[in-house]
Amino acid sequence: MKTYSFTTVCVVASVVATFSDLSQGRPPAEIGQTEVRAEVGRKLDEYLTRLADLGFSGAVLVSTDGVIVLSKGYGLANREMGVAVTPETVLPIGSITKQFTGAAILKLEMQGKLSVNDPITKYFDKVPPDKAGITLHHLLTHTAGLECDYGPGDFEEVSRDEIIRRTMSGPLRSAPGASHHYSNAGYSLLGAIVELVSGQSYETYLHENLFKPAEMADTGYKLPAWSSDRIAQGYRGGERWGTILERPWASDGPYWNLRANGGIHSTVGDLYRWHLALESDNILSAEAKKKYFAPHVDEGSGDSFYGYGWVTWIAPHRPRVSHNGGNGVFMADFRRYKANNVVILGMSNNADWNFTRVSPILEQIAFDDIYAMPPKAAKIDPKVLQRYAGTYALPSGAKFIASANGGRLALQADGQDAFSLLLAGEQVDSKVAGDLNERSAAIVREGAKGDYRPVHEAFGGRMPLERVQAMEGEMWNQRRAMFGAYKDCQALGTVPMPNGALTTTVRLTFAQRSATSKFLWRNGVLAGIDAEPMATPETLVPVSETEFVSYELGSPTSVQVRFEVSPEGAAKALAIQGITGPVRATKVE
């Protein structure tokens, strides 16, 4: 779903010798085995082990001073078969793919076959006048002015020639070179150029010129030919999503909405081998790497600058180059802190615990900062857990619905008071909450009919109506394609944010499943909309037989619930911790 807001061939023997030196005598073939070493590795492992008890699953590798301190898998790669994640588990890396496309273009430049300053008219016919000024550099830095995508989804069966035609005939967001607009389509054009210039398929060129010299045997689209038990399944909302490889793919990789901008699969060991390759000049020359990592263009925040498939983050004590990627189910992050000699990388396969939210906390641990440790989960009898299932009413009539869910409790709010207590620990003024609940639901109801004037008005005129119509129309098309026909909606409630803003959540019911929209309001004006796949209840983990807590990544606070039990063992009430103290809700028979 979209979110918008204002806000030459290398000598292999030489490569092996260099890489071995950089990995403390360990050859690349041994990288990626399970390892936990040194105090920092033990801290990282304890954190991730607790996180896995709460639901996280994925593979992680961290190195400090050139030594791998953690290389391990957590949780399950395949829940149905009981297959655990290991460092050798294969997962998709999303837009981290872009750094390999960038490296391929630079390798072709090193081989004298192109220049990053070439205009695209050198490679494509029938380039319209508005796009004739686009160069390879513009495509690499997302400054070509292209839209993010020119197709409805990653798995549409679209050819190379068709994606070129669509991009050439499609609209521009800005003049070439004028500003930064992240574009998957731009990187697909770069993938097409790799094929046209090299005379090889995109994956074959990467395999022979990047992956094979770096001894990355498990990275690619199809050439690695992994066994099925090594590929992680994806999960979302407790349900099996499957793998990207199960979706429609061409014979040599994904179709062209995804090729060269995403979809590559790898392991944490292979990504670390790529890091070691970049520490030497054996695959990319020093001159090429200057272009590769250069902070070419401000992404808009003043502290992050896009290179050629990498983002440089400017920070006085902890600068880094990094890139993340994913599709909302699988998520990956690759962080290199060269000045501090630290690398953090990993991938996850559970949408509810995506790795891009975990990696900043691993940074805190690796750099010995303060961080919030997840609660240590207790194991209790499933029969005991089942007795807490039921409905609990607040004095206002709002309710909590508890249900047992695989050793956890799922707590759902029904009504504004319950929703605000569950998500924020405090209640919002009823008049303000009621108004925002109704305005948000109305935006959804009218949007379902194709009327986007309410959302345009809510934005206070800061976004042109035509832009709102295009973005909302695309979002609705995606929802209907994924979930079926729209049926109705319900405002779940409004909660305060730490910065003084308010967020209203609306549940949308479709023919196949539910989804949510979250509306961010500041002083009564809409500041952004975040669309999520579905509304999920708060998951509570037992820390004792009667006490349960949630854990929010990076937050020291959590939902805390204690159940009152009769002498006979029946649940009578629950007390949920609010900002001013516990708030009691009685069980409804």
Dmax (CA) of the chain: 82
If asked whether residues 67 and 200 sit together in one domain, one would say: yes
If asked whether residues 415 and 352 sit together in one domain, one would say: no
If asked whether residues 332 and 426 sit together in one domain, one would say: no
Both tokens assigned to 211: 């992956």
* pLDDT at position 91: 98
If asked whether residues 355 and 417 sit together in one domain, one would say: no
* pLDDT at position 21: 36
Chain centre distance of CA 462: 28
Per-10-residue mean pLDDT of the chain, 589 residues long, equals 27 30 48 91 96 93 96 97 97 97 98 98 96 98 94 91 95 93 96 98 98 97 95 91 94 95 97 97 97 94 92 89 94 96 97 92 95 87 91 94 86 87 77 92 94 92 84 85 88 82 90 86 90 68 91 76 93 89 91
If asked whether residues 133 and 219 sit together in one domain, one would say: yes
CATH number at residue 309: 3.40.710.10
| DSSP symbols for 306-352 | E-SS-EEE--SS--EEEEEEE-SSSEEEEEEETTTTEEEEEEE-BGG
3-state secondary structure of 142: coil
Q: Are residues 197 and 113 in contact, defined by beta-carbon separation less than 8 angstroms?
A: yes
**Number of Cβ within a 10 Å radius of residue 449:** 9
* pLDDT at position 301: 78
Tell me which H or E stretch contains 562: strand 560-565
Of 301, 335, 366, the domain-final residue: 366
The number of domains in the chain is 2
**Predicted TM-score (pTM) of this structure:** 0.78
Beta bridge pairs of residue 78: 83
Residues in the chain: 589
If asked whether residues 281 and 384 sit together in one domain, one would say: no
* pLDDT at position 529: 87
* pLDDT at position 13: 28
What is the distance between the alpha carbons of residues 402 and 578, in angstroms, rounded to a whole number?
18
* pLDDT at position 555: 67
- 431 Cβ contact list (under 8 Å, min separation 6): none
If asked whether residues 357 and 381 sit together in one domain, one would say: no
If asked whether residues 333 and 409 sit together in one domain, one would say: no
| DSSP symbols for 547-583 | EEE---TT-S---EEEEEE-TTS-EEEEEEEETTEEE
Burial 548-573 (b: 16+ CB within 10 A, else e): bbbbeeeeeebbbbbbebeeeeebee
If asked whether residues 360 and 380 sit together in one domain, one would say: no
Q: C-alpha distances in angstroms, 211 versus 9, 15, 33, 216?
A: 12, 12, 19, 5
If asked whether residues 391 and 298 sit together in one domain, one would say: no
Of 366, 396, 417, the domain-final residue: 366
3-state secondary structure of 420: helix
Parent domain of 479: 375-589
* pLDDT at position 60: 98
If asked whether residues 241 and 381 sit together in one domain, one would say: no
